[in-house]
Structure 1
Amino acid sequence: MSSHRHNPAREPGPRDAYLDAARACILDVGWRRTTLTEVARRAGVSRMTIYRTWSDMPELLGDLMTREWGELVGSTEILGYDDAGQRGGATPGQIADGVVRAVTVLRDNELFVRIVELDPELILPYLLARRGRSQELILGLLSAVIASGQTAGTVRAGNPAAIARGVVLAAHGFVLSAHTMADDEVSPDELDDELRTLVIRTLNPEEDDR
């Protein structure tokens, strides 16, 4: 199974500057009030320069979300998938720690928070209709970690793609809805502990015997 972990670091280019401008616009005024014209103004380029790169704002947003969240979750530090883990196979606990870290950084990301606060409908297509590029990246990385663990005997048998998708489906709720379940009775940290337990039990080889 292919992994993105050995991809060389990409040097920032003009597109990154344009995406930075779009990000700043969305943080300032929200998605609905952000236009390609305003992105061009903030980036210090002509409107046609932006239009030659993206035909509309939804196309730009797709690239922005892929860069923002794909880079966050795709980093080896968040997934806990280092050279030793690749050779020896990550344990369910290590994978669970990576999932919880990924959920935390996404949940706390200022762009994500801003979109959920002002324009939550932008997230719905990726929950109800289709997978986005960031989700595909996450699934690919997680599947690779799970498959490595299966080879080493640290993760239960099964289709690694299906297992990864089950974990991501569970994680969706902890990214988007954890705040609705946290109160004086249950803390956010306790909820994250429950996610960790859920992932460990999902991946534990001992579950094959039950």
Structure 2
Amino acid sequence: MASLRHNESEQREPADAYLDAARACLLDVGWRRTTLTEVARRAGVSRMTIYRTWADMPTLLGDLMTREWTAVVAGTADSPDSPDSPDTTDLVGRMVAVVRALRVNELFVRILEVDPELVLPYLLARRGRSQELVLGIAEAAIRAGQQAGEVRAGNPTAIARALVLAAHGFVLSAHTMVDDRVTEAELDAELALVLTRVLAP
């Protein structure tokens, strides 16, 4: 997959401290009770400093979620143990790893618990920046796999989007299917099987 690594200077900009403060607010009190004023207070800066970067909370939230989900993808799909290769088993393993990581991410869990409506636009109305990132990585990997004969023929854009759509349910709703008859690990194994069969030549 395409690398997501950046150098230190790119990773930590001044705005990251403000996003860290916003993240802490969301974890503590949720979206509805978080204001730009409170973010500024937690970051130790003036309100105008925050307002110069984000005009409102939805804009800040978009940047926060993009940073968070990008970090999740970078920490799984682009780990040192994940070589750039078109191997289908590797691609499936990375996708399942991303699903697992998102499912336990503390900010993601908190949003679903307290403010689930925040994710609805990205499921019902439009794609977000982090979804576009995942789609781009998946499409590039699928193209490479097709060239190596590891992935079936077909429109790589459509295949990537179908895989992401399938993964949505395993991120958002897997807990509704876990009980004394089915474990989360068994569901993840089924997801891996679905992805493998979709990609198989």
Q: Any conservation in 1 of the 2:2–2:140 contact (CA below 8 Å)?
A: no
Q: Kindly tell me: are residues 138 and 79 of structure 1, through their superposed partners in 2, closer, same or farther at Cα, counting changes over 3 Å?
A: farther
* TM-score, reference length from structure 1: 0.90
For 1:194 and 1:155, the matched residues in 2 are separated by 19
Please list, as runs of the form range in 1=range in 2, the aligned pairs for 1:1-210 lying within 5 A after superposition. 4-5=2-3, 8-9=6-7, 10-75=10-75, 76-77=77-78, 82-83=83-84, 85=85, 89-91=86-88, 93-205=89-201
Cα deviation for residue 72 of structure 1 reads 1.2
* TM-score, reference length from structure 2: 0.94
Percent identical pairs in the alignment equals 65
Paired residue type of 1:69: W
For 1:4 and 1:194, the matched residues in 2 are separated by 26
Q: Kindly tell me: are residues 19 and 98 of structure 1, through their superposed partners in 2, closer, same or farther at Cα, counting changes over 3 Å?
A: same
For 2:120 and 2:193, the matched residues in 1 are separated by 27
Moved more, 30-39 or 70-79: 70-79
Paired residue type of 2:3: R
Number of residue pairs matched by the alignment = 198
Paired residue type of 2:170: F
Q: What is the Cα-based RMSD across aligned positions, in Å?
A: 1.6
Cα deviation for residue 90 of structure 1 reads 2.0
Large movers: runs of 4+ above 6 Å? none
